[in-house]
Structure 1
């Protein structure tokens, strides 16, 4: 069985962090984001090939995951000749595949969905397609999906206006598709699965089934949601590595150097090779990446420092995300919502 991960997006909402780091390998603590999706696919032993559908900086992603053997899976890669949209990308990645259903994930989805249960429902209903839905408070930014009492999809409206909202279940970006149903997607053409393929299934009265999932789900494609995903893992709302059965704790790598007099407040995460100097304070919901340096008297609160970032003495960083190899000078103040791209330099006493 084949699974396709749609990982070709440029991650524009996360810029400048994604200028040199494609979104699939943006770190969640000490692991690339896409590794969490791969862990989900491993729930289904039948899946013997995971296809990464790429477009933006594909070599960077392949360098991280290789052939998948280190993760206990088999990974192959397809690179779109040009952006083909979600439907076109699926068609291109599937190639001549026939037989068992295809499992498809959008590249932004961070969830603990029960994938074997979704596949079982798809087979039980002999569906052409099964879509995972999740309830949200504000569905206007997503694809709104209406179902009947039997769980059949009856309407699919992408990003509705406020007066078009009739339910709270949205497209969660997880699908099980019969390979022969992809015939309705034109080859080598920009085509949207949300605006073209799914509405055609409804119009043709095909068996198009919804699986409503009410557990953890988040789209990590914005800085706010990226930070929230870390907080949710630290708090145990999403049970995932490295905080499984360790919610609320301060997790400090044995290979980190924490000097006497440093203050470490949980939940937080300090990776291998990091140094926290005397008098520095790592406050709750902070992530200190590998080989970071936090100087004397510096304070990091609710921020994520990617690897090899240097924070000088007396700096205060609150609610920010820094890329790799950043340098924050002495007594700098970096405030809520700040994003710093790789190798950014904030000079001494600056305020952002």
Structure 2
């Protein structure tokens, strides 16, 4: 299941939320921003930009916070695989606030928003096509995991409607579908977010949307890893490319 840049993300803007503190892996990275974590000899960001370029993203808007100067210094003067706009928060805003802050820079409809510590290999062309077919304001790329307690479960009806977000809970054990860290937002969703003030994109916005607003796309067979813990950061070396060109698919961000 591979997709070329010509028929993947179709040139849309991709917002990469990379302003988090990275407290869970500070013992490994020290003061290095999480998005610059070295994996297979290259910063995670370099892998991600190659990946998004191969998927056909038109432009990446990096939403930065802690370590923004380090990320900008890393990007400065580099031959990047696609256009990158780095925007720093004036203060910690949360994921929802960060997206609101960069919203005036975004063009096109829809845009994709993804976590800056997430690697996803799924059929993004189908994800985009199903989002448009569904007519929903938001589509979540959902992945199946063997243990949902670390992430929180997404409950999806037979027609694809997201019916519930279950919070992270150590007692919530077992397999299930989770938010894979990538979402497509059409203009009605962006307009609604712009009018709100909650800091969390997940808890204050997505989980509060009226029934029928969110389509949950089940990314069957997707490869998914986040690098938010020392264990998953170490495991990422087995998933991400070892060469200078990121994988072009099975395909986020």
Q: Same fold (TM over 0.5)?
A: yes
The residue that corresponds to 2:73 in the other structure is 63
Give the conservation status (yes or no) of the 8 Å contact 1:88–1:188. Answer: no
1:223 correspondence with 2:224: no
Matched with 1:72 is 81
The ranges of structure 1 where at least 4 consecutive aligned residues each deviate by more than 6 angstroms after the TM superposition are none
Name which of 162, 167, 172 aligns with 1:158: 167
Which ranges of structure 1 fall in alignment gaps of 5 or more residues?
Answer: 245-352
Q: When the two structures are superposed, what TM-score results if normalisation uses the length of structure 1?
A: 0.61
Helix, strand or coil at the partner of 2:72: helix
Separation (CA, whole Å) in 1 of partners of 2:194 and 2:110: 19
1:13 counterpart SS class:
helix
**Distance in 2 between residues matched to 1:106 and 1:50, nearest whole Å:** 12
1:38 aligns with 2:46: no
Is contact 2:114–2:183 with CA below 8 Å preserved after alignment?
A: yes
The residue aligned with 1:212 is 218
C-alpha deviation, 1:205, in angstroms? 2.4
1:138 has 2:147 as partner: yes
1:7 to 8, 18, 21: 18
Structure 2 matches for 1:256-335, cutoff 5 A? none
Q: Match of 1:40, SS?
A: helix
Asked if residue 118 in structure 1 is aligned to residue 119 in structure 2, the reply is no
TM-score by length of 2: 0.83
Quote how far apart the aligned CAs of 1:97 are: 3.6
Query: 1:86 touches 1:191 (CA, 8 Å); kept in 2?
Result: yes
RMSD: 2.4
Aligned-pair CA distance for 1:4: 0.4
Distance 1:98 1:153, change over 3 A: same
Q: Counterpart in 1 of 2:243?
A: 242
Give the superposition deviation at 1:31: 1.3
Structure 1 distance, partners of 2:176, 2:16, is 25
Q: Which has the higher helix share?
A: 2
Matched, 1:85 2:94: yes
Match of 2:191 in 1: 183
Aligned length: 233
CA separation of 1:87 and 1:189: change in aligned 2, threshold 3 A? same
Give 1:71 shift: 2.4
